[in-house]
């Protein structure tokens, strides 16, 4: 690691030291400080979203290392990087909504979540200089449609990110809900993805099982 960059990182708040250096090093050198700064801004706005982003990226990193996936090594890097920055747009959501003890009404979910996706894409593109990660960030919820045609590899990467995102969300306690049981989370995710999975049913079950087990390990650390 560049010594100057390493020293700059060491001077940041303790929260930033939790960012996986292995994942951060996947970004270009000139992007790393910007990524760390944006994540620190997210933490200041909503610590839960910050923690979720770190866990989701760690889950994706472990998944691409341990499972046989039908995507290239470059696509695996893109997936892991996308997982780390996929929720930066949450800073556009009112803190009262993020910290409410009542879940957002269904009729508002698409609007609120769509806004954070749009803003997240803008941050990734204009502040971080990312490009290949944009379709994944744009598609990590079903509330927006990705621009342009997507390859099968991109479609698989999007599904993998969405699954990791939902596994962590379901197994995490939020201000408006308790954490789901493993059984409930597994049932909900399989039920959501099985009809239109691009991974194939066998791989879908394998991915969900792996991510749930790894997420539960993170609870014990």
Cα distance between residue 171 and residue 220, in whole Å: 13
Q: Which stretches of the chain drop beneath a pLDDT of 50?
A: 1-17, 143-144
Boundaries of every domain in the chain? 21-220
pLDDT recorded at residue 154:
93
| Closest C-alpha among 182, 156, 190, 195 to residue 67 | 156
Give, in words, the CATH class of 21-220: mainly alpha
Q: What pTM, to 2 d.p., does this model score? A: 0.87
Q: For the segment 13-27, what is each residue's pLDDT rounded down to a tens digit?
A: 344 447 999 999 999
pLDDT recorded at residue 100:
74
Distances (CA, A) of 61 to 65, 73, 144, 171, 218: 6, 12, 25, 18, 13
pLDDT recorded at residue 148:
66
């Amino acid at each position: 690691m560049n010594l100057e960059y390493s020293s700059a990182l060491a001077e940041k708040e303790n929260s930033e030291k939790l960012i996986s250096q292995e994942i951060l090093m996947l970004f270009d050198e000139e992007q790393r400080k910007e990524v760390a700064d944006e994540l620190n801004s997210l933490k200041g706005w909503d610590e839960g979203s910050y923690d979720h982003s770190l866990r989701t990226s760690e889950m994706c990193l472990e998944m691409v290392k341990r499972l046989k996936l039908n995507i290239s090594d470059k696509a695996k890097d893109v997936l892991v990087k996308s997982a780390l920055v996929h929720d930066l747009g949450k800073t556009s959501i009112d803190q009262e909504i993020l910290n409410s003890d009542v879940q957002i009404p269904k009729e508002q979910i698409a609007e609120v979540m769509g806004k954070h996706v749009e803003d997240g894409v803008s941050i990734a593109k204009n502040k971080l200089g990312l490009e290949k990660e944009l379709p994944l960030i744009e598609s990590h919820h079903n509330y927006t449609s990705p621009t342009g045609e997507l390859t099968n590899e991109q479609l698989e990467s999007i599904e993998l990110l969405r699954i990791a995102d939902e596994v962590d969300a379901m197994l995490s306690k939020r201000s408006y809900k308790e954490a789901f049981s493993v059984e409930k989370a597994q049932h909900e995710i399989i039920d959501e993805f099985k009809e239109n999975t691009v991974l194939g049913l066998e791989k879908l079950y394998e991915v969900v099982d792996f991510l749930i087990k790894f997420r539960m390990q993170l609870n014990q650390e």
